Structure formats: structure tokens, C-alpha cells
Amino acid sequence: MKEIQNVVLIGSGNVATHMGLAFKEAGIEVLQVFSRTAKNARELAGILHSGFTDRIDSLNPDADLYLIALSDDAIEPAAEKFPFSGKLLAHTSGTTPMSVLKKGSTRIAVFYPLQTFSKHVKLDYKKIPICLEVLHEEDGKSMERLACRISSNVAWTDSPKREMLHLAAVFACNFVNHMYVAASDILRKNQLPFDLLHPLIEETARKAQVNAPVDIQTGPARRNNLKVIGKHLDRLRENPDYYHMYDFISNSIKKIHGHIR
Amino acid sequence: MKEIQNVVLIGSGNVATHMGLAFKEAGIEVLQVFSRTAKNARELAGILHSGFTDRIDSLNPDADLYLIALSDDAIEPAAEKFPFSGKLLAHTSGTTPMSVLKKGSTRIAVFYPLQTFSKHVKLDYKKIPICLEVLHEEDGKSMERLACRISSNVAWTDSPKREMLHLAAVFACNFVNHMYVAASDILRKNQLPFDLLHPLIEETARKAQVNAPVDIQTGPARRNNLKVIGKHLDRLRENPDYYHMYDFISNSIKKIHGHIR
């Protein structure tokens, strides 16, 4: 097995930035950052002390891995322009099948970090699950070794399973955050500070990590308390979206706990 | 101001248990636990080293505060039977107006701990917001002093505001947990461990405490990525509840971020 010692990053957004920092922390050299926007490439290269380019035909040919960290729709077009057909080429997307990289190289892989990234928020990379996939078994060991240097949580998932994992993550992260948005809206309209909910938010997240979420469900819908549910719906009449979400999610909870069919 | 030195707990469920433990930790004596079910009263009294009774007419007459920690529907009936009309009587409910206690005493109050309680889960009571309300200003100081001995987070909210706070908490806790339920269901059906989502759940909750949730929304709906949304909906066709939640919440996110009206 040839160990992956250095990487070229294709992309300069949130995921590219955090993966670049994670590689650096783990002692893996970032040789070069590519972005179509020279300014963005230069900026991230400055942080990572790497080279940079805005021309795909000027990619450094000596890297052990080329990692595409672009938005889903930009991955296939970037792979099509990738100039080194025998080099290891991977993407970082949850929903995009590995196969879209086939036009770029014969050696392809996926390196999917399962986390929500914001550019300026520091993260403990050791805790971020890295989900791997490779086309050729020969590349499996070096990809796994690379992932293990960054994270203590490495898993193998094929493209269909990774898609379901990403779908579950949409519920557990994006939709959860939308519930926080609704809660903070309701509080703001009543001149109450969102801080009041912080301990509850923290405890709710903590509990779900040590129990099956279905076993620790609480609240008016779990108890089938129709009086409270009715009062709450009344208060939400001005906001049809929140009204409908309250109604629908409550009914879904009631079904799971056998209060309605 | 007469300091509240001791308490009688009316109720023996999750909230009564945790409030009893919180009082004990803060050096406030629990004189007695009342429950209509003698076994439950005895059990909690054993934990709190207090007296107990299953007869409301045998309530200890010497407490500084009588705290009703019962389900919403049971509060008013309990207040009606309360035998000491001049004694300080409070409940712990988010949705129940203070006024339902009027039939029990002339001195009434609310002591609402804003947290999700499970009987066997230890909590740091100092962090739990306590929301207070009193009918007579004279009882305000002693209630506030009591709350401050338990928690470093004490707020005053009248009954209508407390109801809105409880409604927001349903979104931030109960509905968030239902999103975890959906995520864990999706993973289980695909033989993937829920653990993979733990770091994401934690980071999502953490981020919302240091940013306005609307500013940190991520995901396919935030980016208006219709291709990914379409694929995800396709995968959910077998479960109409999750399909509809995905569709509706995604549209709600899109509206907030200006992708649709």
C-alpha cells in the first residue's frame, strides 16, 4: 500500500476549507488548491500554505489524491475536465454517486465527512464520521489509512447507502435547525429571548445520543393531550406554515405512539 | 421577606422527582410528598428522605410552599381540594394559567422549570431556566430567592407569555426529537447505525446556541437543490408521513430563504 502523503483540493468552499485544515492538522500536505475563482483559491491556499491555481490544466500532477469538494452539480463537470486519468480522484458528497467520477479517472473514490460545516466555525475533526467508498479494492487501504489519520470514526458505505445516510442527516440537522428557527420566531414575536431554550436544546440532543429517540419522546402529542395541542394550534393561526407543521408532526408522533392510526 | 425553607410536593412523576432532588441539593427541605398512589409517594419520599401521604386532607400544614407537579389536567382538581387557603400554592406547568390555582388558595404562583425530564436521567439543575409568576407581589421575592438557590437562570413570565414559551419548546424539543426518530428509522431500515449521526446532532444543537438558527440553515432546501430534494422524496415514497414532512419542511425553508413564495 502506498500511503497518501499529499492532496490537491478541487474547490475552496466550506468543505474544502475544513478538509484542508483537517489534512494539515493530521500532517498530510495540501499541495495545491484549485478554484475557478483565483481569489478564492489564493485565499484558501494562504490558510493552508499550499500552491493554488484557477486553471484545471495547471493542476499539480504529483499528488497522491485529488479531492473534489464542490457543490453536487459541479462534481461531474469538474471530473470531466480532470487531466490525469490514472490518478486517485475522490469527491466529498453525500448524495452524488461515486460513478459520476468515471469520466475523470479509472481510480475513483468517495470521502464523505458527515458534518455541517460553516467556514468560520472550528471543529474537532477527530469526531467527524468519514464515509468511504472506492472502486478498486487496491485503493481501499490507503483511503482508510488517510481517513483514520483525520478521524476516529471511519465507515464504509456504498453510494445507495450513503444517499440514505445523507437523507437521514437532512432530518437530524437541516430539519432540526428549521424547528429551532420556528421556536426562535415564536419567542421573538413575544419578546422572549431564545437563550431560554438553550439548556432544553442541549439536553434534547444529548438524550437522543444515549437513548433510542422514539423511547424518549415527550410533549403534548406523546401524551395525546388534545387540550394543549388545540391551544397551541390556536396560537399559530397567523402563521400557516408553523400551524401545519405543528399539526402534521403532532399527528405523526401520535401515530407512532398508538394514539391515532 | 420570609425565606422559603421547606416544601411539600404534590405529585410524584418526572417533574416532582427532579424538583425534589433540586430542592434537596440546594438545602431546601422537602417535608412531604403527596400522591394519590401511596406506593409512588413512598418511593419518592424514600429518595428525598421526606414524609409522604396519599390523602390530601393529611397534607403537612407547616410548609412554606406547596408545589403541584402534576399533569396539566390534574392541576385544577388538585387545587380545588387543597386544604390551606392562605398558604403559598404553585404549579410547575408551562401551559396552565396561574389562575386555575385560585380555587385552592389566595396566595398563588407558578414555578416552571423549562427542561425535558426523564426520571432516571441526572441533570445540572443550575442550568435549567425557572420561569416565575406570582399573584401577589409580596410572594415575588421569596419565590425568586427560592428559584435562585436552584438555578442561575431565573426569569419572570406571565401566563400568556409562558404559554408561548412552552409552544416554542415543543418545536425545539418534542419536534426536534421526532426528526431524530425519522432519521433513526431511515438508518435502521438501511442497516446503518444511528451513532453515525451523533456528531452532527451535537454540532447542530451547539451552532444554534451561538448563532441565530435562520443564519446557519444548511442543506438541499436552503440551497434550493431541487435534484437532491427530488431524489430524497423518491426514497421516502414508502412512508407517507416522512414524505410529507420532508416536502413541507423543505418548502417552509425555501420560503424563508426566498426560493419560493
Whether residue B1 lies inside any domain: the answer is: no
Here the cell at position B161 is 407569555
Which distant-in-sequence residues (6+ apart) come within 8 Å of A258 by Cβ? none
Whether residue B239 lies inside any domain: the answer is: yes
Residue B214 sits in the same domain as residue B133 = no
The angle at the Cα of B77, spanning B76 to B78, to the nearest 5 degrees, equals 90
Query: Is there a contact between A174 and B205 if contact means CB atoms under 8 Å apart?
Result: no
Whether residue A31 lies inside any domain: the answer is: yes
**pLDDT score for B260:** 87
Q: Does the pLDDT value for residue A122 go beyond 90?
A: no
Residue A12 sits in the same domain as residue A48 = yes
Query: Is there a contact between B199 and A129 if contact means CB atoms under 8 Å apart?
Result: yes
Burial, B133: exposed, middle or buried (Cβ in 10 Å; 0-12, 13-18, 19+)?
buried
Q: What gap in Å lies between CA B23 and CA B30, rounded to an integer?
A: 7
Q: Does the pLDDT value for residue B44 go beyond 90?
A: yes
Smallest CA–CA distance, residue A240 to chain B, in Å, is: 10
Residue A150 sits in the same domain as residue A170 = no
Domain range for A201: 163-256
Q: Does the pLDDT value for residue A120 go beyond 80?
A: no
Whether residue B20 lies inside any domain: the answer is: yes
A210: region left, alpha or beta (phi > 0 left; psi from -120 to 50 alpha): alpha
Query: Is there a contact between B172 and A183 if contact means CB atoms under 8 Å apart?
Result: yes
Nearest residue in chain A measured CA to CA from B196: A129
Residue B82 sits in the same domain as residue B179 = no
What mean pLDDT is predicted for residues B167-185? 98
**pLDDT score for A118:** 80
Whether residue A108 lies inside any domain: the answer is: yes
Residue A133 sits in the same domain as residue A187 = no
Query: Is there a contact between A204 and B205 if contact means CB atoms under 8 Å apart?
Result: yes
Among A92, A126, A157, the domain-final residue is: A157
pLDDT digits (tens, 9 = 90+) for B49-64: 999 999 999 999 999 9
Among A136, A157, A178, the domain-final residue is: A157
Q: Global pTM?
A: 0.94
Residue A151 sits in the same domain as residue A204 = no
Q: Which helix (H) or strand (E) holds B226?
A: helix B226-235
Using a CB–CB cutoff of 8 Å, tell me whether A226 touches chain B.
Answer: no
In chain A, the number of structural domains is: 2
**Cβ proximity of B105 and B173 under 8 Å:** no
**Cβ proximity of B245 and A252 under 8 Å:** yes
Helix A159-169 / helix B176-189 crossing angle, nearest 10 deg? 170
Nearest to A7 by CA among A87, A98, A127, A113: A87
What mean pLDDT is predicted for residues B89-104? 96
Residue A83 sits in the same domain as residue A113 = yes
The rounded Cα B102 to chain-centroid distance in angstroms is 23
Residue B118 sits in the same domain as residue B239 = no
For residue B96, the domain's CATH number is: 3.40.50.720
Residue B110 sits in the same domain as residue B183 = no
User: Which residues of A are less than 8 Å from B231 in CB distance?
Assistant: 95, 163
Q: Does the pLDDT value for residue B99 go beyond 80?
A: yes
Whether residue A144 lies inside any domain: the answer is: yes
Using a CB–CB cutoff of 8 Å, tell me whether A175 touches chain B.
Answer: yes
Q: Does the pLDDT value for residue B119 go beyond 80?
A: no
Give the B window 230-249 contacts with A, CB below 8 Å. Answer: 231-232, 235-236, 241-242, 244-246, 248-249
User: Which residues of A are less than 8 Å from B172 in CB distance?
Assistant: 179-180, 183, 197, 200-201, 204
How far is the CA of B35 from the CAs of A56, A206, A256, B58, B61, in angstroms?
74, 31, 30, 11, 16
Which distant-in-sequence residues (6+ apart) come within 8 Å of B36 by Cβ? B54
Residue A148 sits in the same domain as residue A235 = no
**pLDDT score for A235:** 96
Here the cell at position A65 is 489524491
The rounded Cα A154 to chain-centroid distance in angstroms is 14
Q: What gap in Å lies between CA A210 and CA A238, rounded to an integer?
A: 37
**pLDDT score for A201:** 98
For residue A174, the domain's CATH number is: 1.10.1040.20
Residue B117 sits in the same domain as residue B48 = yes
Whether residue A1 lies inside any domain: the answer is: no
The angle at the Cα of B160, spanning B84 to A252, to the nearest 5 degrees, equals 105
Whether residue A41 lies inside any domain: the answer is: yes
Q: Does the pLDDT value for residue B121 go beyond 90?
A: no
**pLDDT score for B100:** 97
CB-CB neighbours of A37 under 10 Å: 10
**pLDDT score for B170:** 98
Among B136, B157, B178, the domain-final residue is: B157
Nearest residue in chain A measured CA to CA from B251: A241
**pLDDT score for B162:** 97
Nearest to B168 by CA among B207, B131, B140, B137: B131
Q: How many beta-carbon contacts under 8 Å exist across A and B?
A: 290
**pLDDT score for B261:** 79
Here the cell at position A215 is 423511547
CB-CB neighbours of B50 under 10 Å: 22
Query: Is there a contact between B165 and A196 if contact means CB atoms under 8 Å apart?
Result: yes
Q: What gap in Å lies between CA A70 and CA B68, rounded to an integer?
A: 56
Here the cell at position B251 is 418548502
Residue B35 sits in the same domain as residue B127 = yes
**pLDDT score for A260:** 87
